[in-house]
Amino acid sequence: MSREQKDHILNFLEKGIRFDGRKLDEYRPIKVEKGFSGNAEGSAKVSIGDTEVLAGVKMSIMEPYPDTPNEGTMMINVELLPLSNPDFEPGPPGIQSIEIARVVDRGIRESGAIDTKKLCIKKGEKVWSVIIDVCPINDDGNLFDASALAVVAALQDAKFPSYDGKVIDYKKKTKESLPLKKLPVSCTVIKIDNHFIVDPTYEEEEKVESRLTVEVEEDGTLCALQKGGDKPLTAEDIDKMVGIGIEKSKELKKFL
Partner 1 sequence: MGKLLVEDKTIVTPGEELAEGMDFLPAEGTFRDKDKILASRMGLIHIEGRLIKILRLSGRYIPKAGDTIIAKVTNILMSGWTFDINSSYSAMLSVKEAKEFIRRDADLTKYYDIGDYITTSIVKVTSQKLIDVSMKNPSLRKLTGGRIINVNPNKVPRIIGKRGSMVSMIKNATECNIIVGQNGVIWIYGQPENEIIVVNTIKMIEKEAHISGLTERIKTFLEKKTNKKISIEKVE
Partner 2 sequence: MAYTKRNDGRKFDEIRPTEAKAGIIKRADGSAYFKMGKTVAYAAVYGPREIHPKFLQNPKEGKLRCYYNMMPFSSVGDRVRPGANRRAKEIAMVTEKAILPVVDLTEFPNSVVDVFIELPQTDAGTRCAGICAASMALADAGIPMKDMVAAVSIGRVDDKLVVDIDYSEESYEDGTVADIPMAVISRTGEISLLQMDGNLSRDDLKKAIEMAKKACSEIDKIQRDTLKKKYEVKK
Which of the listed partners (partner 2, partner 1, none) does 19 bind, with a CB threshold of 5 to 8 Å by partner kind?
partner 1
**CB within 8 Å of 144: residues ≥ 6 apart:** 100, 103, 104, 186, 188, 213
* Residue 12 in contact with partner 1, rule: CB under 8 A: yes
Site for partner 2 in 208-247 (CB under 8 A): none
Q: Per CB under 8 A, which region of 18-26, 102-110, 150-158, 237-245 contacts partner 1?
A: 18-26
Beta-strand relationship, 126-138 and 73-78 = parallel
- Of the residues 122, 124, 137, 174, which one makes contact with partner 2 according to CB under 8 A: 137
Q: Nearest approach, Cβ of 109 to partner 1 (angstroms)?
A: 39
Q: Are 162 and 128 in contact (CB under 8 A)?
A: no
* Residue 11 in contact with partner 1, rule: CB under 8 A: yes
- Of the residues 79, 110, 115, 218, which one makes contact with partner 2 according to CB under 8 A: 79
- Of the residues 24, 30, 32, 40, which one makes contact with partner 2 according to CB under 8 A: 40
Q: What is 125-147 written as a DSSP string?
A: TEEEEEEEEEEEEE-SS-HHHHH
Q: Per CB under 8 A, which region of 10-18, 54-62, 172-180, 237-245 contacts partner 1?
A: 10-18
For the chain, the C-alpha Rg in angstroms (whole number) is 19
Q: Per CB under 8 A, which region of 47-55, 111-119, 217-225, 232-240 contacts partner 2?
A: 47-55
CA distances from 11 to 4, 18, 35, 233 (A): 10, 10, 43, 22
Site for partner 2 in 141-170 (CB under 8 A): 170
Q: Are 222 and 242 in contact (CB under 8 A)?
A: yes
Residue 17 or 121: the one with the smaller Cβ distance to partner 1 is 17
Determine the 3-state secondary structure of 71 from DSSP: coil
Q: Are 113 and 184 in contact (CB under 8 A)?
A: yes
**Cα–Cα distance for residue pair 179/181, rounded to 1 Å:** 7
* Residue 2 in contact with partner 2, rule: CB under 8 A: no
**Cα–Cα distance for residue pair 207/5, rounded to 1 Å:** 10
Q: Nearest approach, Cβ of 24 to partner 1 (angstroms)?
A: 12
Binding site for partner 2 (CB under 8 A): 36-40, 43, 50, 54-58, 60, 77, 79, 81-86, 90, 92-93, 131, 133, 135, 137-140, 170-171, 202
Binding site for partner 1 (CB under 8 A): 1-2, 4-5, 7-9, 11-12, 15, 17, 19-21
